[in-house]
Amino acid sequence: MSALPRPRGPVSEQLLEALGSPPHAIARVSGPVEDEDLHLALYCCYELHYRGFDGVDDRWEWEPSLLTLRGVLERQFEAELHDLVGAPSAPPDPREMDALLRELMLSDDSPSVSTFIEREATDEQLLEFMKHRSAYQLKEADPHSWALPRLSGRPKAAMVEIQSDEYGNGRESDIHADLFARAMTAVGLDASYGAYLDQIPGVTLATVNLMSLFGLHRRLRGAIVGHLALFEMTSSVPNRRYANGLRRLGHGEEACLFFDVHVVADAVHESVAAVDLAGGLAEQDPRLGADVLWGARALLAIDGRWARHTMQSWENHASSLRREPALR
């Protein structure tokens, strides 16, 4: 568990104040919510389904008024996604799913944070990157695992194969989230779950919220499968670059192990994710093929927005993180 973060606007302020008390009805939200406020509030709503927060009553997880608030925030986020990538298109031929996902990979024109870290990043920028990544990596695989009870047959077996690897194949020391925590410790960062939440901007929280949104809604099971498939297909090369950047900056093997493991693991997962998971689901229910591709496009759009924010900040010699807030 982690401490409750500091609010970033009226909605997160209302939510966080409420979470400090026993469960009770909270007021509805009307009108659009600003991005930082939206994504912090949504992240906190979702976190109640993961590890929760210190001192927050576990019964808040299913408080009806909080779920109503979450629904309002989710609808705004979904509308934003439709603005970014459009609505799902017509269902594709399931036999073409692998090729279509690979076309999406090639269409990504986002700036390469991994190449910059491999070749140019300072140690300070590398540490910023690790803080950004901690929002997801310390709960790695958990958002996608919500899909498991919604799948059956071949796609379920494929997801289990991928997720089992993410969870260390039954070995505690090999759980990928724990490997990332060890990498954070090795580079001198605080590996406590949620330690940097106040510094992580909404553009980063949105990348995690996307997974939680897809994973927690059965109607979006195709989207979470597409997200995971493309996530695995685009992971191996960037992780090799991150490891190279760590070594260039003088960090040792303990810092690099997480990234080294992903170079090998995600190269193996690539075919399983594209053919058996995404392709298998589309064959099983052709209607979901459109959602699979939509989820993959949403991943590229939201991760691309994060990459542009990060690179633009660094090009301007500024931090890509939020300023450390003053103590309340």
120 and 77 fall within a common domain:
no
| Residue-range definition of the domain harbouring residue 42 | 10-83
Structure tokens, 98? 């692998």
Residues 138 and 122 in one domain: yes
Q: Confidence class of residue 263 from pLDDT cuts 50, 70 and 90?
A: confident
Q: Do 172 and 46 fall within a single domain?
A: no
Task: Please check whether residues 234 and 264 belong to one and the same domain.
Answer: yes
Give the amino acid at 305. R
The per-residue pLDDT for range 213-251, each reduced to its tens digit, is 999 999 999 999 999 999 999 999 999 999 999 999 999
Give the integer Cα–Cα distance in Å for 9 and 41: 9
pLDDT in tens, 65-92: 999 999 999 999 999 999 999 999 999 9
One domain, residues 62 and 108: no
State whether 262 and 152 are in the same domain: yes
**Do 140 and 34 share a structural domain?**
no
DSSP H or E stretch at residue 100: helix 97-107
Could you tell me the CA-to-CA distances from 235 to 25, 47, 197, 198, 221 in Å, in that order? Answer: 42, 25, 24, 27, 21
Percent of the chain with pLDDT over 90: 91
**Average pLDDT of the segment spanning 32-46:** 97
User: Residues 255, 201: one domain?
Assistant: yes
Strands (E), the chain: none
Residue 8 near residue 40 (C-beta atoms within 8 A): yes
Structure tokens at 285: 């229910």
Q: What per-residue confidence (pLDDT) applies to 324?
A: 61
At 47-65, the pLDDT tens digits run 999 999 999 999 999 999 9
CB 277 within 8 A of CB 228: yes
Asked if pLDDT for residue 325 goes beyond 60, the answer is: no
Do 138 and 205 belong to one domain?
yes
Prediction pTM value: 0.95
The token pair at 250 is: 């003088």
Largest CA distance in the chain: 56
* pLDDT tens, position by position, 136-182: 999 999 999 999 999 999 999 999 999 999 999 999 999 999 999 99
For the cut 50, the answer to whether the pLDDT of residue 327 exceeds it is no
Residue 323 falls inside a structural domain: no
1: in domain: no
Answer yes or no: is 175 within a domain: yes
pLDDT in tens, 204-221: 999 999 999 999 999 999
Average pLDDT, the chain: 95
Dihedral of alpha carbons 38, 80, 237, 264, sign = positive
CATH number at residue 107: 1.20.910.10
